[in-house]
Amino acid sequence: MKSSELKRQLAQALEHASADNFDKVLCRCQPQKGTVIVMNEPKKRTLRLPIVVAVAACFALLVVGVGVFTRIQSQSLAIASVISLDVNPSVQLDVNDKSRVIDAKAINPDGETILAEMDLKNTDLTVAVNAIVGSLLRHGYVDELANSILVTVEDDNTTRAQQLQNSVSQQVTSALNSAQVNGAVISQTVSYSNNPLQAKADEYGISLGKATLIDSLVQNSDHLRFEDLVGLSVNELNLLASQQAVPSNNLTSNGSASSNGYIGIEAAKTAAFQHAGVDVSSVVFSRYDFDYEMGRMVYEIEFMSGTVEYEYDIDAANGEVVKFSREDKAPVSTPVPTPVPTPTATAQPDAASAPSSQPASQPVSQPTAQSTTNTGTMLTAEQAKSTALNHAGLTAESVWDLSIDLDQKNGHTIFDVDFENSEAEYEYWIEAYTGEVLRSNKENRRNNSTSTATTASITAQQAKEIALQQAGLAESSIYDLEIELERENGTLCYKVEFESAGMDYEYEIDATTGAILSMG
């Protein structure tokens, strides 16, 4: 019963609890003959005992009712679980133990777009989830090009968390199927309290669920870094997760992440074969997978042609060669021992008369076989350097940080030659005796876009828009914006810096192509 109803009933009880009928009694008394007995008017009692009891009972009822109402209300507002849905937009639902939504929050600007004009408070969780998925589809954040949604349940009650994970994942999958989208739903549960990743999530302005997924990828990789993956969409993170040999034990996946937004593996292989200068018929294909290198999604391709092993990173968006290496796997040959000449049939002294300190039957000794053919003259370090530079098409004056080490690799004595220039870092293995290039590795610093352009092809406004789109932010949400045109490592670029929600953003945008050269 509501507090207002209790108060109304209490007022009625007090009003009708007693009646002052003294005047009415006097009116009914007729004049009397004879002795008149004077009656003193009795003192009015303010409240009789039964009335006191009734009032006390009503008050007690009111107190109990208000207490029950307050307790029920506080229970309905108590957060039992936190559920986040991440795509690139990120939204969070606080729910009670009855699966009713207490509050719906946007974690980033795109999340605000998803929740706009929707009041999900006090709605059933199923209704809220379907409404959010519908908004994601309507605004084009989920489609056949990027079809992954991350569901995370934060709850210290593991049983309830698992039940919610299963039910919400099924609801999301069902909503995507109804929209005829071949979706990929990944889900996980995390601890609600004292989670060490919460600080990182707050630092980068992402959900705890996305921070947990990124941390899992970093822990299972030898080169991925947390700060590099923060700006990736859930679909890109899902592609990376699907390639890892040791997936997260807590991550459940339903469906495959879409790769339709990329050039495709066949186009990537063609780009690698053409760059290596090999005929496709001579290639023994080894493997490929998705990876993240130097600020972009890449196809990592390994293959053999003849005795040479090649490794390539091909930009998944445009087919550009980001990184490559080659290594000759030919075994070192062992020379055939020179045969000992057979004695001629000329007359020889009898064994009995021939003076000898050894028995006649002892075999003639043979030369010992050498383990390698490295019996010629070794190259000098200067010759190895020249070989590497000539192969790279560079001069000694155009490179720096050059180092040359003598080493043993795969049975070869090699010169390991390393150097770099404004475009890339290079590594060469030069066979120390033959001068053959056994391995060449070139790792581009950026998008291989070093140019001598003196004027920009895009405006500062366009550079700003490119940076904001990559960051997933609206211009109204940023401040301290700075844009400068400068030349970095030979490339004319815009340096775009701004802040949003306590985070610093810095981008370098190629002023000729509009490509993102770096971000941080």
All structural domains of the chain with their residue ranges = 3-29+44-77, 81-254, 265-331+374-444, 460-519
Of residues 409 and 52, more confidence is placed in 409
Query: Model confidence over 56-106: pLDDT tens digits?
Result: 565 655 555 545 444 545 556 789 999 999 998 999 999 999 999 999 999
Q: Above 60 in pLDDT, residue 132?
A: yes
Architecture of domain 460-519: Roll (3.10)
- List strands edge to edge, sheet with 424-431: 283-293, 296-305, 308-315, 321-328, 437-444, 424-431, 412-420, 400-409
Query: Model confidence over 176-228: pLDDT tens digits?
Result: 999 999 999 999 999 877 788 999 999 999 999 999 999 999 998 888 999 99
Q: What is the DSSP letter of 347?
A: -
The answer for residues whose C-beta is within 8 angstroms of residue 409's C-beta and 6 or more apart is 416, 429, 438, 439
Query: Model confidence over 242-277: pLDDT tens digits?
Result: 887 656 667 898 999 999 999 999 999 999 999 989
Mean pLDDT computed over every residue of the chain = 79
Q: Which of 35-39, 50-54, 505-509 has the highest mean pLDDT?
A: 505-509
75-79 contacts: CB < 8 A, separation 24 or more? 76/100, 76/102, 77/102
Q: Above 90 in pLDDT, residue 134?
A: yes
Beta bridge partners of 326: 310, 440
Same fold, 265-331+374-444 and 460-519: yes
As a whole-number percent, the residues of the chain with pLDDT over 70 amount to 73
Beta strands of 53-211 (E only): which ranges? 81-86, 90-95, 101-106, 148-154, 184-190
Query: Model confidence over 303-358: pLDDT tens digits?
Result: 988 888 889 999 999 999 988 888 877 655 444 444 444 444 434 444 343 444 34
Angle between helices 49-77 and 3-16 (to 10 degrees): 180
Instruction: Tell me what the mean pLDDT of segment 390-406 comes to.
Output: 86
What is the C-alpha separation between 486 and 509, in angstroms, rounded? Answer: 10
What is the C-alpha separation between 299 and 297, in angstroms, rounded? Answer: 7
The vertex-254 CA angle with 251 and 256, nearest 5°, equals 105
Query: Model confidence over 11-51: pLDDT tens digits?
Result: 555 455 444 554 544 444 455 445 555 555 555 555 455 55
- For the entire predicted model, the pTM comes to 0.56
- Which pLDDT value is given to residue 184? 94
Pick the CATH number of 265-331+374-444 from 3.30.70.360, 3.10.450.40, 3.40.50.1360, 3.90.45.10: 3.10.450.40
